Amino acid sequence: MNQDYIQPNEWSILEEGFDVERVKSSESLFSIGNGVMGQRANFEEHYSGPSFQGSYIGGVYYPDKTKVGWWKNGYPEYFAKVLNAPNWIGINVFVNDEALDLFTCKKVEDFTRELNMKAGFHRRSFVATLPNDVEISVTATRFLSIVEDELGAIDFEIEVLNSDVEVRFEPYLDGGITNTDANWEERFWKTLEVKSEGNKGFVLSKTLKTEFHVNTFMQSEVLLNGEKQDVEFTETKTEDKLTFSYSVKAEKGQKLSLRKYAGYVTDMNHKRSDLVTAASKVLDYATNSGFSKLLQEQKEAWAKIWEMADITIEGDVKAQQGIRFNIFQLNQTYLGKDERLNIGPKGFTGEKYGGSTYWDTEAYCIPFYMATKDHQVARNLLTYRYNHLDKAIENAEKLGFINGAALYPMVTMNGEESHNEWEITFEEIHRNGAMVYAIYNYVRYTGDFTYIPEKGLEVMIAIARFWQQRVNFSKNKNKYVMLGVTGPNEYENNVHNNWYTNYIAKWCIEYCLESIDKVKDAYPEDYERVMGKTKLNEGELAKWKEVADNMYFPYSEENGVFLQQDGFLDKEILPIAELDKTQRPINQKWSWDRILRSCYIKQADVLQGFYFFEDHFSKNELEKHFDYYEPITVHESSLSPCVHSIQAALLGRTKQAYEFYLRTSRLDLDDYNKEVEQGCHITSMAGTWMSIVEGFGGMRVKNDKLSFNPTIPEDWESYSFKVNFRDQVLKVKVSAEKTVFQLEGENAIEINVNGKSVEVNPNQEFAV
Ligand code: BGC
């Protein structure tokens, strides 16, 4: 049974009723972020029940020393982790000296939570009866500003319902936090100073080893019935913690509120010596603006994001809520302003995956950011990898590669590999292909070839070198083969000739050769620079070509399909439909050994290749491969359903595409994988966007033009999306009867709809 407590709503994620069993799931689902920092939806006041505390700062990490049973040469020394950072949301509340703690209250009624996606805030309200029988009604609103991205704000409002009382608010900053995920139970932070200046508070800390300096700050105001109060406060300092204490009397029916402005400034953006001044400036901005104005600015800033990124779905509230949740979370995780940041699979919603960068960004996230933001954002994501090229070369050297060959890390914070399971670190090398594919995809979509001569070509050369060195010539097959790899399907390890890996390797070499020729012709200066730097010579190019022309691909004549890897047909092929439901998910029910021997596929593998290189194959071939592989795919990676949704739509199987769509878009909301407590699946959310735009909308870029092949799921009245294509915005609205295009630009564009070329003029609806 999937979880189903989230109330359907078009613009909000809603929970009703307090249930301690759901607290951790909701902490993930109601997470907030602003692209620079983010946090789980932990309660502000003390909560003694089960909870998973998390507040994260983009780019601030700790190299947690690797812990493995059998150390293998080439393993990275550490696994980088985005850390649970000092807590600034804390506001302990005492009513007549009794602590407010939802876990110990006599009664909690009318509990609701809302993640308001339109305006970008989290709100929680409830009526609680404390152990001392005082009844209070609480409404706590919190957001992380996307306008001033070092700032967060909380309005914690209490109405006393049944008596006159004294309320004590204790807003605090706590640097004494730990990570749930820590290999050696070490502390990751050291508090340097706990400091106050009037009612401004600061906790200065640094991460151990990486030495990121962070100043966590706060300032609070007390209001009675909306009027600011001049309340005396006391302060308590401990080694890691600063607490201010405000006591106020309130009569029955009065509303008391504590407004807390807080956040982080770090030495990634300020001089260390300026961290207190910088924090103080943010606080001045906050207190001068006030909560309502900040919230208003937040709403306006989110409205701008939605203006471009929104997808509407009429006639299916759950599907609508699903897509908006995905778009919202992606924007909370990454807004593209800083090329040092990236999109971790859990974003700012949990610790798993270390908050680091995976191939997910290149394979899944780039299209979303390219189409819904300025193209510079996607370029920043590409530049992130360019900036890590030297580290990727070092990484390959550690494994014995030479001559500037690069292996990009499976997982990284700063360019260094930080994954340490041999079958993935050393073998899941297909990730290198995604780096090049993203460059190709960017150029295809934006038409901005300049990225290649300026930066991309160096990356491509280093990767082509890697592939050429990674294969070996098989006399037996008279072809180049690639041994000992793990494909995208991680339920197979150390296989030979994973079709996807061989295919993308060949393609990377060919695309690199083609790009070298283009750069030589059109950007001679860059060509000279890159050739000088890489010392590439004709002999090497000839070797690459020899490999690309003679790559081996496992194929089954009998089934008419490429085989996922050598020996795949030795497996017992049993469709999942015949597997007892109690056996799933197999990664929670079966031993690893059993999984490896089974035919079951975790996520698109051969089909991932068919997705990337759709034009290389006929529809018939796609259909054959889809029918062969999908029935044995368990979709136990969040990245799987979206690819299948797009392909099912292309094959005209709209119903199946819709099922996959729901699965990807509501993966977390309905907790399909039964693990949402650990955080949300952020990167696959971009796949949800693709399922609509590329799947149902059938959008592709062909020969510098957009093309569409729209279909619509039965339950939907219509859906619409917008794409920024080469600095013009095209809105597409699809219903069963027609598709309407609207261009917000200045120049007419030619697009292809259902195979026919048509012209769309600016600011005129065009219906097909
Ligand atoms: C998937 C990988 C993915 C990673 C992070 C794994 O479960 O198999 O393809 O990169 O999760 O999302």
In a domain, 127, yes or no: yes
Q: Which of 598, 609, 608, 499 is nearest to 555 (CA)?
A: 499
For position 119, which CATH number holds?
Answer: 2.70.98.40
Ligand 1 neighbour 354 (Cβ under 6 A): no
Nearest-CA residue for ligand 1 atom 1 is: 637
Ligand 1 neighbour 599 (Cβ under 6 A): no
DSSP H or E stretch at residue 307: helix 291-309
Domain co-membership, 540 together with 484: yes
CA of 486 from ligand 1 middle (Å) equals 12
Best residue among 329, 343, 358, 419 to mutate for probing ligand 1's pocket (most ligand atoms within 8 Å of CB) is 358
Ligand 1 neighbour 347 (Cβ under 6 A): no
Contact 553, 483 (CB under 8 A): no
* Closest atom, ligand 1, to C-alpha of 359: 10
For position 646, which CATH number holds?
Answer: 1.50.10.10
CA of 684 from ligand 1 middle (Å) equals 9
- CA 340, CA 52: separation in Å to the nearest integer? 27
- CB 737: neighbour CB atoms within 10 A? 9
Q: Classify residue 678 by its DSSP letter.
A: G
Q: Which amino acid is at 132?
A: N
CA of 262 from ligand 1 middle (Å) equals 34
Q: What is the mean pLDDT of residues 32-40?
A: 97
Q: What is the mean pLDDT of residues 314-323?
A: 96
What pLDDT, on the 0 to 100 scale, is given for residue 77?
A: 86
- CA 351, CA 331: separation in Å to the nearest integer? 19
Q: Which residue has the higher pLDDT, 401 or 69?
A: 401
pLDDT above 90 covers what percent of the chain? 93
CA of 319 from ligand 1 middle (Å) equals 24
Nearest-CA residue for ligand 1 atom 7 is: 637
pLDDT tens-digit profile of 71-113?
888 888 888 888 999 999 999 999 999 999 999 999 999 999 9
Q: Which residue has 């505390």 as its token pair?
A: 53
Ligand 1 neighbour 687 (Cβ under 6 A): no
**Where a domain ends, among 304, 338, 360?**
304
Enumerate residues 6+ apart whose C-beta is below 8 A from 256.
Answer: 157, 158, 159, 160, 167, 222, 223, 224, 248, 250
For 482-631, strand residue ranges (E) read 555-556, 561-562
What pLDDT, on the 0 to 100 scale, is given for residue 745?
A: 82
Domain co-membership, 559 together with 574: yes
- CA 16, CA 538: separation in Å to the nearest integer? 67
Domain co-membership, 461 together with 484: yes
Nearest-CA residue for ligand 1 atom 6 is: 637
- C-alpha pair distances (Å), 720 with each of 48, 738, 765: 45, 12, 14
Ligand 1 neighbour 696 (Cβ under 6 A): no
- Tell me whether strands 739-744 and 766-767 are parallel, antiparallel or unpaired: antiparallel
Ligand 1 neighbour 684 (Cβ under 6 A): no
Cis peptide before 585 (omega within 30 of 0): yes
Segments forming the whole domain that contains residue 276: 31-61+85-304
CA of 334 from ligand 1 middle (Å) equals 19
Q: Which residue has 């590669």 as its token pair?
A: 401
Number of domains the chain is built from: 2
Domain co-membership, 456 together with 569: yes
Ligand 1 neighbour 639 (Cβ under 6 A): yes
Ligand 1 neighbour 364 (Cβ under 6 A): no
In a domain, 124, yes or no: yes
Q: Which of 584, 580, 585, 558 is nearest to 569 (CA)?
A: 558
Instruction: Using pLDDT thresholds of 50, 70 and 90, give the confidence band for residue 68.
Output: confident
> Cα–chain-centroid distance for residue 446?
22
Contact 712, 719 (CB under 8 A): yes
- Please state the φ and ψ torsions of residue 189, each to the nearest 5 degrees: -120, 150
pLDDT tens-digit profile of 334-383?
999 898 999 999 999 999 887 689 999 999 999 999 999 999 999 999 99
* pTM: predicted TM-score of the whole model, two decimal places: 0.97
- CA 117, CA 6: separation in Å to the nearest integer? 14
Best residue among 356, 637, 675 to mutate for probing ligand 1's pocket (most ligand atoms within 8 Å of CB) is 637
> Cα–chain-centroid distance for residue 44?
25
User: Residue 483: exposed, middle, or buried by beta-carbon count in 10 A (0-12, 13-18, 19+)?
Assistant: middle
Domain co-membership, 245 together with 386: no
CA of 347 from ligand 1 middle (Å) equals 13
Domain co-membership, 297 together with 327: no
* Closest atom, ligand 1, to C-alpha of 683: 12
Ligand 1 neighbour 491 (Cβ under 6 A): no
Task: Provide the mean pLDDT of the chain.
Answer: 96
Ligand 1 neighbour 358 (Cβ under 6 A): yes
Nearest-CA residue for ligand 1 atom 5 is: 345
Sheet holding 749-753, edge to edge: 700-702, 705-708, 749-753, 756-760
In a domain, 744, yes or no: no
Nearest-CA residue for ligand 1 atom 11 is: 637
CA of 637 from ligand 1 middle (Å) equals 6
- CB 45: neighbour CB atoms within 10 A? 21
Q: Which residue has 């989110």 as its token pair?
A: 302
Domain co-membership, 299 together with 361: no
In a domain, 213, yes or no: yes
In a domain, 734, yes or no: no
Domain co-membership, 255 together with 161: yes
Domain co-membership, 296 together with 339: no
CA of 412 from ligand 1 middle (Å) equals 13
What pLDDT, on the 0 to 100 scale, is given for residue 78?
A: 86
- CA 740, CA 734: separation in Å to the nearest integer? 6
* Closest atom, ligand 1, to C-alpha of 410: 10
Instruction: Using pLDDT thresholds of 50, 70 and 90, give the confidence band for residue 697.
Output: very high
Q: Which of 51, 146, 135 is nearest to 90 (CA)?
A: 51
Nearest-CA residue for ligand 1 atom 9 is: 488
- Please state the φ and ψ torsions of residue 568, each to the nearest 5 degrees: -60, -35
* Closest atom, ligand 1, to C-alpha of 431: 10
In a domain, 419, yes or no: yes
> Cα–chain-centroid distance for residue 141?
24
- C-alpha pair distances (Å), 502 with each of 41, 412, 544, 563, 728: 43, 24, 13, 11, 37
- CA 98, CA 167: separation in Å to the nearest integer? 9
Instruction: Using pLDDT thresholds of 50, 70 and 90, give the confidence band for residue 185.
Output: confident
Res 275 pLDDT > 90: yes
Find the DSSP H helices in 451-591. Answer: 451, 457-470, 499-522, 524-534, 538-549, 586-589
Domain co-membership, 324 together with 256: no
**Where a domain ends, among 277, 304, 331?**
304
Nearest-CA residue for ligand 1 atom 3 is: 360
CA of 358 from ligand 1 middle (Å) equals 8
Ligand 1 neighbour 345 (Cβ under 6 A): yes
Q: Show the 3-state SS of 188-252.
A: CEEEEEEEEECCEEEEEEEECCCCCEEEEEEEEEEEECCEEECCCEEEEECCCEEEEEEEEEECC
Q: What is the mean pLDDT of residues 11-26?
A: 97
- CA 711, CA 761: separation in Å to the nearest integer? 23
Q: Which two tokens stand for residue 130?
A: 């404390």
Ligand 1 neighbour 634 (Cβ under 6 A): no
Enumerate residues 6+ apart whose C-beta is below 8 A from 67.
Answer: 183, 184
- C-alpha pair distances (Å), 401 with each of 52, 74, 88: 42, 12, 46
Q: Which two tokens stand for residue 399?
A: 């494994």
pLDDT above 70 covers what percent of the chain? 100
Q: Classify residue 156 by its DSSP letter.
A: E
Report the SS3 class of residue 418.
coil
Domain co-membership, 395 together with 494: yes
CA of 541 from ligand 1 middle (Å) equals 33
pLDDT tens-digit profile of 208-224?
999 999 999 999 999 99
The per-residue DSSP string of 331-345 comes to HHH--S--TT----T
Ligand 1 neighbour 360 (Cβ under 6 A): yes
In a domain, 523, yes or no: yes
In a domain, 138, yes or no: yes
Domain co-membership, 684 together with 720: yes
CA of 61 from ligand 1 middle (Å) equals 20
Ligand 1 neighbour 353 (Cβ under 6 A): yes
**Where a domain ends, among 252, 271, 304?**
304
* Closest atom, ligand 1, to C-alpha of 636: 7
Q: Which residue has 């680091």 as its token pair?
A: 356
What pLDDT, on the 0 to 100 scale, is given for residue 1?
A: 53
Buried/exposed 229-247: b ≥16 CB within 10 Å, e otherwise: eebebeeeeeebbbbbbbe
Q: Which two tokens stand for residue 524?
A: 């001679």
What pLDDT, on the 0 to 100 scale, is given for residue 352?
A: 87
Ligand 1 neighbour 605 (Cβ under 6 A): no
- What residues are labeled active site? 490
